[in-house]
Structure 1
Amino acid sequence: MRRPPQNKSTKLSQESLRLVNLAVAVSQSASRIEDEAWQKQLDALVRKNLKAHHALLDNAAEHVFKHHPEAYEVMIETLESLSTSQAFEHDGQWFDALLITAPVLAWTRFEIAAGQIASDHAQLLATQLQACLLTPQARLHLLPTLYSLDQLPRNHSETAVLLERLAQAELKGLAPQHSQDLLPVIPFLADIRFMLAVVIVPQAQPLFQWQEIVAPFDCAQAKTIALEKWTEQATPILSRLLPGCHIDLLMPEAFYTACREADIKIRPALLRSAVFYLTQHLDVDASELQTIVAGFGDEDSPGQIEEYRISFLLKSAPEVLYGVVWPLYQPDDQVNAIDCPTENICVGEIPAILNDCGVLDIHKIEDVFSMEFCDDCHAPLFPDADADLVHAEMPADTPAQGSEHFH
């Protein structure tokens, strides 16, 4: 299940309550006719509040997540769909517009670049994206910027505003502009970079090439071929834009779908890069490391895990040196991530990756902690061997992660 927006407000306005009731009605409908009737009302109310009242929408989504889980997918899908896809009129003709992102996974011991893309590189990437994925009638407006996660829209309202700005720019024939006033990039050893674009087609026309395939309509195979072509064509350019990095291109998709997929796919690289960083800069073998894994969740939903936090320590010292966050998205993520049938044996994706890297000492704390962060720097806190939440800190003379520059 997709995670709800983090919002501590619990009191619902009348408008939020109406949104909740409509989402519940959609989830309880017994026919497609009834479903569409309720959905039409929900869409209209979301559109009314989308650009100016994101707190109202977030409150409704959080309430549904906690009290009506059967309706949560209805609510979040509506918010995501309407904030990333709209119809626009221009010169008497209607167009459909979709906000997409093309994620790139990157890991390195150097700094992962972000920011402006030179105009010639951006134009070439746009041409390749068009040729590999889009239909001939589709128009593409690609922003010449590599974004980090913290630089993306922070809520559905900001996403909707970005969609409209890019769509109007494309319809008016304006050149893509570099993004201004972006937040500073926090350096990580493994991270995601995003390219943002809007795709526009005449209303009701297909956007993507796999929408035009014939029976038996194997969209998965068509997408695989498209991704292979995109990877082949775009990797040489993106390798120059991200020097010193190993990169992996993911499928360009609708904005929220691609962001979730990138968040899931980067998790193994975060663990592997952490082990590499610690062994290199501390001059130790991976077998000298130990890890402590604990589940974290919203204090208003006791027992529900939203993410695992993995602490790295030396076996010879009690201090937490480094930490990695492993977010959960799907219902089976929690069990698949880590399970400890006995005190000394842990299985799952997290132990498998650590074992493969040479880290064999893995402990799991059964308690579920609240989502604690440092009051000063807002970094997540990680569990130590005594189950206390502490700041992860490397020795003072250790280079910071991502602080080395590629030359």
Structure 2
Amino acid sequence: MMTEFRDLLDRSVLIYLDDILVYSRTLDEHIIHLRVVLNHLRIAKYKANLDKCEFTKQELEYLGHFVTPKGIRPLADKIQAIVDWPEPRCTTDVRSFMGLAGYYQRFVESYSKVVVPLSGLQSPKTDGQTERAHQTAQMMLRTLIRPDPKDWVDWLPDIEFAYNTSVHPAICVTPFELHHGGEKARIFADLLLPQAANIDAPCSPASVRKYRDLLIKARTNMQKAQIHMQQQANRRRLPCPFREGDLVWVLSEEFALEQDVSRKLLPKWFGPWEVTSAVGDDPAGPCFVINIPPHLTVHRVFHASKLAIYTPSSDDEFPGRRSQDPPSMDGHQEVDRVITHRKYGNKPRQYKVTFKQCAPDDTRVDLQYKFANLCSPYLRRL
């Protein structure tokens, strides 16, 4: 069934197993599409059960959904399982419910805001610093413990002491010094030697001033560390070259192909097409809206990694070269207009047409069902 209607799929026909749905914008256009579908059924020698057929309906039930001119909504009995879902008791129950309800997110306005309380229950809340501290402690423990350890808990105080008395590369001071506002913690050698008494009380002006200076120093060092990490991350990165109005190529992997077509035989890039606008707060991307032809059923927003700059070649270098055909995803190019027609005996009527994005003298003879939406205006002009 899919093979016989592959030239009409997602353009005017939807097929699920043996159910065929024909959709159109107007009644006249719907009659043309319906005749094309019935002709395909006759050629393929399929028979439709008239008792199960419905024609020219503006509202109908299809695959558990109610289709109307205003939109699509699920049937009430299909969402009864969500309404009767028991109260979750653990994280697994919450994930199961979110997985079931996620299918209907397209029918719920501001779905992401509604499920914020449940989304936070699927994973533990972390600040990002605790995991880093655990990772550091684990790395230091590996240097002290042996295979099959049983006393690794006894080593934790030594690991904590070593971490708190070592200079952190981001703040350039020890965590002990930053936390307590004093000098470094005494190492083992300091315990054997007499130390001068610290006359600065914890709340004295000198102690407060010293602690304030440590905070300023730590903030300055953290900003320097962030700038250094940013420079290292952007060392091999280039600014986005795409701007509004540029012509770009789009990676062919982003398009759905018809059946029995190998990607090895297709070009790597399709296009070129114009960049309409950038998506996001950053004017340089990284996602862009591409003005692709209407007959290609694909989302118009592409990431910058899926695009390539188009560099036009001079026409003077290859004056006799034929213009490049527009990209074909369903076996046919986009027809621009019908020039004339011809008919031989009982054979189907053939039309001479031109294609968009091609030279005006680049014409071709084709059958009517491939561009039924343009044949009606042409026949009315005769």
Q: TM-score range by the shorter chain?
A: under 0.3
The structure with more strand, counted as a fraction of residues: 1
The structure with more helix, counted as a fraction of residues: 1
Length-normalised TM-score, structure 2: 0.24
Q: Per chain length, whose mean CA-contact separation is higher, i.e. which structure has more relative contact order (CA < 8 Å, sep 6+)?
A: 1
Structure exhibiting the larger radius of gyration computed from Cα positions: 2
